[in-house]
Amino acid sequence: MSDGALSQEEIDSLLAGLDGGPGPAAAAAAPAASRQAQGQGSSAISAQEAAAFKAILDSTLASQSQNLSMITGLAVTVQSPFVDGTTRDGFLREVPEEVLAVTVPFGGSLPGDHVFVMSKQTALRIASLANKDEGLSDLDDMAISAVQECISTLTGTEITVISEKTGNRNLQGGVAEGSFGPKAMAQVPQGDFLRAVYQVQIGEGAPERMLELFALPFVKDVLASLGGAGQMGGQMGTQMGGQGQRGQMMGQGQQQQMMMGGGFGQMGGGYNQMQGFQTPMGGMTPPNVQPIQFASLQMQQSSPESGNIGLIMDVFMEMTVELGRTRKLIKEILGMGEGTIIELDKLAGEPVDILVNHKLIAKGEVVVIDENFGVRVTEIVSPMERMGDLG
């Protein structure tokens, strides 16, 4: 029988943490073994609950892989996560000394804390690929901003899937805020929380590892919403089964069982080919049966505003119009004076570029309005071109 001490192999696995440690199987086994050995596992969530929430995360993997591929420009595969419950102490034992934590709290009908955590190496790789800067070596504000955009995209996919599965259409995501520093300063959910450990293969080379932390109240609310939907289905099945039995008393049809979804019960044979209503018993008056009238479905255009865009509608942005560019030597610039003509790289009459915060969003033509210059928009840059320009 074990005396509760950790072996050297287990200690090495814990020290490896997120930064290039063991493979997926060892990553799943080492945390569980260490918590069992030290008696600090999370009992606030059961294995069944963890497995149920893991199934939700698994359903997002294809979309998440595609999202990361678009951001990084490489083939990305997000593997099925290892999911369990843990505490802050358990989290601190299993991560590097410095981490990037990006908080994106959930709001609306299912509020709760939500954090992505990754090593500096993983954050730098994502930021360098997103910004097309292979020489990136420090997590400055621009690099952290790139990772924040990535995490916001991943969270948006999860919100969509959870909303569809639970029916909570009011689920929202907050603003992503990243902070890099010592692991003890990372903001994690209070108390026990659920942890998902992902292995992410970005292009070639060793896979990267990311942690996703969910507040337990949020997890339990999501699972309760799923269970509530199942219970509703069971109640509908019970009611329909009772109606089938009454129909069988009025007819002579053979009983037929219909299994619908995960608990829609049994429908009695009295509804088989409506024979129960064709042969009344004991002089009973058959009910007046009419076909159901369904309202016609009409296509509705979704609102262009979605998510939390209303929160930033009053934010000021710098808009500039670029007539053209040129390159000059410093001695040529210092020699400029009044009357100097500078030749640009665009032809006369060619569309000018319209930029917002130095990012190209549209093209237009120069016009004069009441003796003032203006620009008439003639072309909007496609989302794919704008995504490429962000890099």
In this predicted structure, the answer to whether residue 196 has a pLDDT above a threshold of 70 is yes
**Predicted structure pTM score:** 0.52
> Given pLDDT bands bounded at 50, 70 and 90, which one contains residue 37?
very low
In this predicted structure, the answer to whether residue 95 has a pLDDT above a threshold of 60 is yes
Asked if 266 contacts 258 with a C-beta cutoff of 8 angstroms, the reply is yes
> Which CATH number does the domain 8-223 belong to among 3.40.1550.10, 3.20.20.70, 3.40.50.300, 3.20.20.80?
3.40.1550.10
> Given pLDDT bands bounded at 50, 70 and 90, which one contains residue 18?
very low
Helix spans in the chain (H): 8-16, 24-38, 47-58, 61-72, 88-93, 120-130, 141-166, 216-250, 330-334, 383-390
Tokens of 275: 């024979």
Compute the residue count for the chain: 391
CA 265 to mean position of chain CA atoms: 34
Across all residues in the chain, what is the average pLDDT?
76
In the 8-state DSSP scheme, what is residue 291?
Answer: -
Where are the domains positioned within the chain?
A: 8-223, 318-336+344-390
3-state secondary structure of 208: strand
pLDDT given at position 10: 60
Distance separating alpha carbons of residues 106 and 213, to the nearest angstrom? 12
Asked if 98 contacts 66 with a C-beta cutoff of 8 angstroms, the reply is no
Number of helices (H) and strands (E) in the chain: give both, helices first: 10, 13
Dump pLDDT digits (tens) for 162-184: 988 888 878 888 899 999 999 99
Dump pLDDT digits (tens) for 259-311: 444 443 444 444 344 344 444 444 556 666 666 665 555 555 544 444 566 77
70 sits in the region (left: phi over 0; alpha: psi -120 to 50; else beta) called alpha
Fold of 318-336+344-390: Surface presentation of antigens (SPOA) (2.30.330)
Sheet arrangement for strand 352-356: 319-322, 352-356, 359-369, 372-380
Closest CA to 97 of 21, 28, 18: 18
pLDDT given at position 104: 93
Dump pLDDT digits (tens) for 205-237: 889 999 999 999 999 999 998 864 444 444 444
Closest CA to 17 of 200, 184, 210: 210
Tokens of 151: 């995490």
pLDDT given at position 385: 74
pLDDT given at position 294: 58
In this predicted structure, the answer to whether residue 106 has a pLDDT above a threshold of 70 is yes
Dump pLDDT digits (tens) for 116-168: 999 999 999 999 998 888 888 888 888 999 999 999 999 999 999 998 888 88
Average pLDDT over residues 4-12: 60
pLDDT given at position 182: 93
Distance separating alpha carbons of residues 296 and 309, to the nearest angstrom? 32
